[in-house]
Amino acid sequence: MASRLKHLIEAGLLSPIPWLVLAIAAATAARAWPDHRRDSGLAFLLTLAFFLGWLILYLERIKRARPRVGLAEIDAMDGFAFERWAIAMFQADGHRCRNIRDRGDFGVDVVAVVQGVPVGVQTKRYEGHVGNAAVQQVLAGCDYYGCHVAAVVTQSYFTPAAVAQAARARYPVVLVDRDHLGRMVDLVRREVDRSRSLLG
């Protein structure tokens, strides 16, 4: 429950700023209202404040909505565009990201901070299936950047060797293939929650 609440705050759904501004506005208007109408006026202003607050949060959520990109569009992307799409997906959910490709990525293209846990993400825009070398690379990158969870994301599929190595890795490794691209962030967040619960 606490982790879910924290995620909502990070995503902007429980941002206190609109509520604070509206509460101050309502209190100021109530002070200026004639005494004999203050009670009804305050009730009206509070109702209006809650409605406007809900509207602002709803619009914030729309603004942060995950990019709606179909598989055909993803297939048309090059490696850099696919990487930017993955970053946009994490950022749309309120998670901070660092693109580290330009620094010599050491096996990790993106470091995303999910609920306070650094996640090393490698994107693979492949024509064929992604092998276990990608898992080895992302694990090495996690060592270098101090990440606690790894993820390999591809618009293709993984070989059995890649799946087997990910299952036996020293870090939790999330393999996101073509069939699960739309749930990428949810799968990573679930693994983060699981790893945190195991660590206590």
Could you report the per-residue pLDDT of 150-182, keeping only the tens digit for each?
999 999 999 999 999 999 998 899 999 999 998
Do 187 and 152 meet the contact criterion of CB atoms below 8 Å apart? no
Are residues 55 and 76 located together in one domain of the fold?
no
CA distances from 68 to 62, 73, 88 (A): 12, 10, 11
pLDDT digits (tens, 9 = 90+) for 64-88: 555 567 888 888 999 899 999 999 9
Are residues 106 and 175 located together in one domain of the fold?
yes
The predicted model scores a pTM of: 0.66
Are residues 83 and 177 located together in one domain of the fold?
yes
Q: What is the pLDDT of residue 164?
A: 97
**The two three-digit tokens of residue 93, written as one number:** 């959910």
CA distances from 42 to 21, 25, 55, 67, 167 (A): 16, 11, 20, 40, 59
Name the average pLDDT for the chain.
78
Are residues 122 and 168 located together in one domain of the fold?
yes
pLDDT digits (tens, 9 = 90+) for 100-149: 866 666 889 999 999 899 999 999 998 899 999 999 999 999 999 999 99
Domain of residue 29: give its range.
2-63
**pLDDT confidence bin for 60, thresholds 50/70/90:** low
**The two three-digit tokens of residue 115, written as one number:** 């609920």
Total number of domains in the chain: 2
Q: Residue type at 8?
A: L
> Among 63, 84, 111, which residue terminates a domain?
63
> Among 28, 43, 63, which residue terminates a domain?
63
> Among 63, 80, 111, which residue terminates a domain?
63
Are residues 96 and 125 located together in one domain of the fold?
yes
Q: Residue type at 196?
A: R
Q: What is the pLDDT of residue 196?
A: 72
Q: Which of 140, 135, 138 is nearest to 158 (CA)?
A: 135
Are residues 50 and 82 located together in one domain of the fold?
no
Gap between the Cα atoms of 11 and 20, Å rounded = 18
Which range (10-24, 48-62, 135-149) has the least confidence? Answer: 10-24
For residue 159, give the DSSP letter.
-
Which position has the token pair 């959520």? 61
Are residues 117 and 195 located together in one domain of the fold?
yes
Q: What angle do CA 99, 96, 133 make, to 5 degrees?
A: 45
Are residues 30 and 78 located together in one domain of the fold?
no
How many other CB atoms are there within 10 angstroms of residue 142's CB atom? 28
